[in-house]
């Protein structure tokens, strides 16, 4: 009978230990889902998790009381029953009392560690939300019954924490890096699809994406000059892969607005003649944004203005490039098919090397090559693209076939568009490749 009572006390200790770890480990999102499914215990678990001081005090009081009863009852009962049996052995008779006490303490300790700590805590770690939802209602009732003692202990613990200068709990809100880590873990575990995880991670980085890395540079834009020949303008629009065009009048740095090719040809269809096309009448005011705006900030502006594109200008008001809603969506989910069809910005060759566009954003470069979170000089915002990284490394405008080595990669400029880096070949070196920067040829 005594052994049964001790075993029950040890199991009760395990229930308290299990409930403590389960309530701390349970994810609130999963508890909320269980609550929506009608599991009342999940709501009780969330209420306890919102007031950790109260439930921790309840658990600790329970564990302490059980430990006191366990020790006292085990020593008083089992020792008295075991000592006479040991005394019956002549060799052990002089040490019967201390030896029986040592054996009882060792046995109770072993069972307490296994059934009162290790096994319950492993169950709590494996099934935290389930255990928390089952344990929470009776634990909440016990907490109410012990309310005066729990409040006293909570107040004393809060006082001690304030004396130690730790009165307020640190903010437990997960950071963007922690959320990214959870997304990757979820994708690896099969909870999230890889595509879903990638989109969510890109969304988290959207506020760090600068427009320089997303825009179509001014050198690649097709400008329509209202002072230019009308036939040349229409021919340029018809031959271009783009559908939207910045409109200028003489000065290419001063943009008047934007025109959509679809609207121009709609004019011609309605009037059944190309002579009806009026570029000035079809022009819309352009949303101008500084290059310092983040991709998330621009997305918000486009939504407020009901616009589909924005022109990026520098601090002097000079045109730097154009960003469309399609560019922002591509930053979230990858390249999209559309009217503005472009060559792939990254091509994997048969030998394992990469042929990359000079305008490739740094985030995309890191993703393809699997390199660290920041490149040299990137944190200062000195550059946002692969071309900027190459210029930073070589220190001058390179020529085709110039190359350098950084970390375990060789970068070779394979194509230049006048002074603009168009294509770069990136090859991974062997371990002997070294980390030193090679002089460009």
Which of 333, 357, 386 terminates a domain? The answer is: 333
325 shares its domain with 268: yes
Interatomic CA distance for residues 171 and 250, integer angstroms? 56
Same domain for 203 and 219: no
Q: Which of 276, 277, 275 is nearest to 261 (CA)?
A: 277
Helices (H) and strands (E) in the chain, counts: 18, 12
Paired strand residues for 321: 217, 312
**In a domain? residue 441:** no
Q: Which helix (H) or strand (E) holds 406?
A: strand 403-406
Query: What are the residues whose beta carbons fall under 8 Å from the beta carbon of 101, sequence distance 6 or more?
Result: 75, 79
Residues in the chain: 441
Percent of the chain with pLDDT over 70: 89
Signed CA dihedral, 232, 234, 235, 241: sign only: positive
Residue-level pLDDT at 410:
92
CA end-to-end span of the chain: 90
* Distance, CA of 264 to chain centre: 44
Residue 150 has a CB neighbour count (10 Å cut-off) of: 22
**Euclidean distance between CA atoms 107 and 111, whole angstroms:** 6
Structural domain count of the chain: 4
The dihedrals phi and psi of 114, each to the nearest 5 degrees, come to: -75, -55
Per-residue confidence (pLDDT) for residue 440, from 0 to 100 = 43
Taking the CB of residue 113, how many other CB atoms lie within 10 A of it?
Answer: 12
CATH number, position 366: 3.30.465.10
Q: Is there a domain that residue 338 lies in?
A: no
Q: How far apart are CA 349 and CA 275, in angstroms?
A: 48
- Please check whether residues 13 and 147 belong to one and the same domain: yes
Task: Output the CA angle 331-336-338, nearest 5 degrees.
Answer: 130
Q: Write down which residue in 129, 163, 197 finishes a domain.
A: 163
Residues 314, 259 share a domain: yes
Co-location of 374 and 412 in the same domain: yes
Quote the pLDDT of residue 412.
93
Question: Both 9 and 138 in a single domain?
Answer: yes
Per DSSP, 273 falls in state S
Within-domain flag for 440? no
The single-letter DSSP state of residue 248 is: E
Say if 270 falls within a structural domain: yes
Is 356 in a helix, a strand, or coil? strand
Extended beta strands in 93-151, E state? none
Instruction: Say yes or no: 149 and 14 in one domain.
Output: yes
- What pLDDT score does 73 carry? 66
Q: Are residues 8 and 141 in the same domain?
A: yes
Whole-number pLDDT of residue 83: 75
Domain boundary among 284, 310, 333: 333
Indicate whether 317 and 369 sit together in one domain: no
Same domain for 135 and 81: yes
* pTM of the predicted model as reported, rounded to 2 decimal places: 0.52
Q: Is 283 helix (H, G, I), strand (E, B) or coil?
A: coil
Q: Tell me, what DSSP letter sits at residue 223?
A: -
Is position 308 within any domain?
yes
- What is the greatest pairwise CA distance in the chain? 124
411 assigned to some structural domain:
yes
Asked if residue 287 and residue 420 are part of one domain, the reply reads: no
What pLDDT, on the 0 to 100 scale, is given for residue 438? 42
Helix or strand run (H / E) with residue 288:
strand 288-290
Please give the residue range of the domain that contains residue 403.
Answer: 346-433
For the sheet containing 403-406, what is the strand order? 346-348, 354-357, 420-428, 409-417, 403-406
Domain check: are 182 and 267 in the same one?
A: no
Quick check: is 341 in a domain?
A: no
pLDDT, position 76: 64
CA of residue 99 relative to chain centroid, distance: 58
Asked, for residue 339, whether it belongs to a domain, the answer is: no
- Cα 375 from Cα 237, distance rounded (Å): 39
Residues in the chain with pLDDT values less than 50:
339-341, 431-441
């Amino acid at each position: 009978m005594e052994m049964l009572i001790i075993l029950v006390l040890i199991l009760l200790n395990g229930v308290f230990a299990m409930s403590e770890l389960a309530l701390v480990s349970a994810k609130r999102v999963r508890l909320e889902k269980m609550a929506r499914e009608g599991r009342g215990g999940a709501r009780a678990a969330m209420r306890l998790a919102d007031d950790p001081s109260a439930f921790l005090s309840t658990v600790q009081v329970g564990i302490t009381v059980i430990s006191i009863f366990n020790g006292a009852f085990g020593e008083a009962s089992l020792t008295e029953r075991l000592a006479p049996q040991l005394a019956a052995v002549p060799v052990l008779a002089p040490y019967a009392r201390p030896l029986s006490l040592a054996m009882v303490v060792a046995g109770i300790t072993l069972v307490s560690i296994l059934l009162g700590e290790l096994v319950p805590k492993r169950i709590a770690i494996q099934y935290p939300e389930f255990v928390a939802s089952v344990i929470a209602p009776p634990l909440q009732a016990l907490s109410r019954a012990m309310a005066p003692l729990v409040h006293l202990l909570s107040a004393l613990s809060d006082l001690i924490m304030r004396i130690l200068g730790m009165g307020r709990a640190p903010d437990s809100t997960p950071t963007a890096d922690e959320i990214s880590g959870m997304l990757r873990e979820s994708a690896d575990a099969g909870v999230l699809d890889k595509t879903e995880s990638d989109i969510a991670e890109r969304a988290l980085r959207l506020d760090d994406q600068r427009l320089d890395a997303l825009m179509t540079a001014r050198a690649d834009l097709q400008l329509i000059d209202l002072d230019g020949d009308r036939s040349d303008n229409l021919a340029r629009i018809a031959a271009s892969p783009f559908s939207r065009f910045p409109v200028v009048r003489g000065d290419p740095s001063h943009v008047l607005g934007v025109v959509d090719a679809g609207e121009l040809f709609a004019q011609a269809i309605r009037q059944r003649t190309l002579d009806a096309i009026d570029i000035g009448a079809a022009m819309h005011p352009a949303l101008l944004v500084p290059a310092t705006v983040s991709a998330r900030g621009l997305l918000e502006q486009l939504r407020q203005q009901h616009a589909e594109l924005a022109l990026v200008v520098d601090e002097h008001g000079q045109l730097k490039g154009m960003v469309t809603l399609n560019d922002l969506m591509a930053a979230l989910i990858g390249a999209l098919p559309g009217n503005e069809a472009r060559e792939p910005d990254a091509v994997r060759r048969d030998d394992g090397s990469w042929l990359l566009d000079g305008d490739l954003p740094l985030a995309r470069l890191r993703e393809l090559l699997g390199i660290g979170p920041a490149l040299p000089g990137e944190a200062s915002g000195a550059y946002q693209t692969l071309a900027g990284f190459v210029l930073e490394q070589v220190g001058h405008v390179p020529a085709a076939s110039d190359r350098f080595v950084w970390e375990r990669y060789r970068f070779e400029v394979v194509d230049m568009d006048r002074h603009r880096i168009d294509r770069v070949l990136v090859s991974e070196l062997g371990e002997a490749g070294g980390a030193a920067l090679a002089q460009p040829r």
